[in-house]
Amino acid sequence: MSFLHPLHIFIAVTLLLISGWFFWPSPAPLLPTTGTTIVIFGDSLAAGTGATTGGDIASRLSDQLGTSVINLGVSGDTTADGFARTDTLLATDPRVVIILLGGNDAIQRLPLEQTFSNLASIIERIQATGAAVILVGEPGALYGSRYEDEYERLAKTYRTFYIPNILSGLIGRAEYMSDYIHPNDAGYAKAAERILPVIKEALGDK
C-alpha cells in the first residue's frame, strides 16, 4: 500500500488553492443604495482637456443618458489632490461616481503604493455614502502593466465597476488624440462609449 509523500500533498493543495483563486467568480460590483447624481471625478481626462465645448466625457454622457452628469475634473490633479476634494464630491449627493485618476501620479513617478492607497481611500469615502463607484484605469507610463494590475486589484477588493485603461487603442493615433496624453473630440467619444454601458449597469438599466 502506497502513501502520498507530505510534499506531494502540500503541492496538490497549493495548486488547488491557486486554481480556485483564479477561477472562482469575483463578487458582483456594489450597486448604489442612495444618492441622486452622476459625477465624473478626476483629472484632465475627466475635465475634458483637448475637447471642444460639449465634446468632453461628461457632456457626451449627459446627452446619451438624458440626465446631467456633473463634471468634477481638474487638470493636473493627482490622487492626493482628488482625495483632498472628496468633500466637494460628496456634497453633490452622488449615486454613481466615475473615478478618473492616477495618470498624473504615473507621469510624476509617485510611489505606486501611495497612488493606490489614495484611490482606495477615495473609494471607501464614496462607498460609505451608499454610492456606486466606476473605477476607470489610466495609462501607467513607466509603470506599465503594474498600473493595470493595481487598478484591477482595487476593483476586486472594493467591488467597484471597472473599465481598464480608458486610452487603450487611442494613444499614438492622431485621429483620436489632441496631444500625446489628451484625446480630441473623437477620442472622448470613444471613451464615453466605453463608460456608458457601465453606468447603465450601475443604475440597473441594462
Give how far Cα 47 sits from Cα of 20, 77, 100, Å. Answer: 41, 10, 10
Residue pLDDT, tens place only, 47-71: 999 999 999 999 999 999 999 999 9
Mean of the pLDDT values across residues 126-146?
95
Note the pLDDT of residue 21: 43
Chain-centroid distance, C-alpha 110:
18
pLDDT higher than 60, residue 19: no
Strand boundaries in the chain, DSSP class E: 37-42, 69-73, 94-100, 132-136, 161-163
Taking alpha carbons only, the member of 16, 47, 86, 32 closest to residue 198 is: 32
- Whether 149 and 102 have beta carbons less than 8 Å apart is answered as no
Residue carrying the nine cell digits 473599465: 163
- Evaluate the CA torsion angle 83, 164, 97, 173 in order and state its sign: positive
Task: Give the CA angle between residues 58, 63, 65 to the nearest 5°.
Answer: 90
**Beta strand pairing status for 37-42 and 69-73?**
parallel
Taking alpha carbons only, the member of 177, 170, 171 closest to residue 194 is: 170
pLDDT higher than 90, residue 5: no
* Residue, of 18 and 148, whose pLDDT is higher: 148
| Separation of alpha carbons 31 and 15, rounded Å | 34
**Beta strand pairing status for 132-136 and 161-163?**
parallel
Note the pLDDT of residue 10: 53
Note the pLDDT of residue 1: 46
- Domains of the chain, CATH where assigned: 33-202 (3.40.50.1110)
Residue pLDDT, tens place only, 174-183: 999 999 999 9
Res. 99 pLDDT band, cuts 50 70 90: very high
Res. 205 pLDDT band, cuts 50 70 90: confident
Note the pLDDT of residue 141: 86
Res. 146 pLDDT band, cuts 50 70 90: very high
* Residue, of 91 and 7, whose pLDDT is higher: 91
